[in-house]
Amino acid sequence: MLEQLLKENNGILTKEQLTNQVVSYDELGGAEQNIDIKQFNDRLYYVDGYYDHDYLLQLSHPDLVFSRDTAVKYHWLSNQLPYELYVTLPTTYKKTVQSDYSKVNMMYEDLESADIELIETQEGNFVQVTSLERTLYDMMQDKSCPMDIMKEIIWNYHQAPNINKERFIHYFGRWYHLEDSKEAQKLLQQHVSYIDTSFKSWKQVTRVV
């Protein structure tokens, strides 16, 4: 029963599932089970060896979206791995986010659905991450981001197979407080003769913003 339950839930159990199965934490850790169960927080448990930190965090905070430097990692925009965790939460969110990272940077914003996408973790689970263009937009606003890292992010964005030109235009317009996408595109075309993915053109755009 226990092994089947763990298999169905990718090695993760909630406190409610344990209660429903009438299985205590002590029983889970019993030698007769030959399964090493760890406690992630007050409501989540996982099998040792199947630890997926970000997915467990997502389950703990369903409204959480991984953003900025953490999103850069998920989109493979830089080889530099963040030492801190960056997440965006709704403006009304009150819970504290606890993590294994040395520091958790929490931004509060009511993101649009188009700002978010699901990305698979290395362990095969899916978490919410800011979209490719939203991540680029956020990083270009981050004055603390080193120039060499920003150049790497821009270059890797240019190489990405899933560039969304409409969303890029949307954020370009947002930078200049233009609500109309046609106005944003017109302004963008003043700086590049055509909207394409040539590195020269994207460098011109990024110099402007």
Distance CA 56, CA 38 (A): 12
- Residue 209, domain member (yes or no): no
DSSP H stretches of helix in 12-109: 15-20, 25-28, 53-60, 68-74
- Residue 94, domain member (yes or no): yes
Q: Per-residue pLDDT tens for 8-50?
A: 777 787 877 766 665 555 555 543 456 677 888 878 888 777 7
Q: Which of 75, 104, 131 is the last residue of a domain?
A: 131
- Residue 148, domain member (yes or no): no
- Residue 116, domain member (yes or no): yes
- Residue 172, domain member (yes or no): no
Q: Per-residue pLDDT tens for 80-99?
A: 888 899 999 999 998 888 88
Residue 36 and residue 59 in one domain: no
Residue 59 and residue 111 in one domain: yes
Supply the range of the domain harboring residue 35. Answer: 2-51
pLDDT range class, residue 61, cuts 50, 70, 90: very high
- Residue 143, domain member (yes or no): no
pTM for the complete prediction? Answer: 0.76
Residue 56 and residue 123 in one domain: yes
CB 169 within 8 A of CB 191: no
Distance CA 157, CA 159 (A): 5
DSSP 180-199: -HHHHHHHHHHHSSS----H
Residue 11 and residue 45 in one domain: yes
Rounded CA Rg of the chain: 21
- Residue 113, domain member (yes or no): yes
Distance CA 123, CA 205 (A): 36
Residue 65 and residue 89 in one domain: yes
Residue 68 and residue 6 in one domain: no
Residue 68 and residue 83 in one domain: yes
Q: Which of 87, 112, 131 is the last residue of a domain?
A: 131
Residue 26 and residue 60 in one domain: no
- Residue 177, domain member (yes or no): no
**Is pLDDT at 3 greater than 80 in this prediction?**
no
Q: Per-residue pLDDT tens for 115-150?
A: 999 999 998 899 999 999 999 989 988 888 888 898
Q: Per-residue pLDDT tens for 164-191?
A: 877 887 776 666 555 555 555 555 554 4
**How many domains does one find in the chain?**
2
Residue 72 and residue 126 in one domain: yes
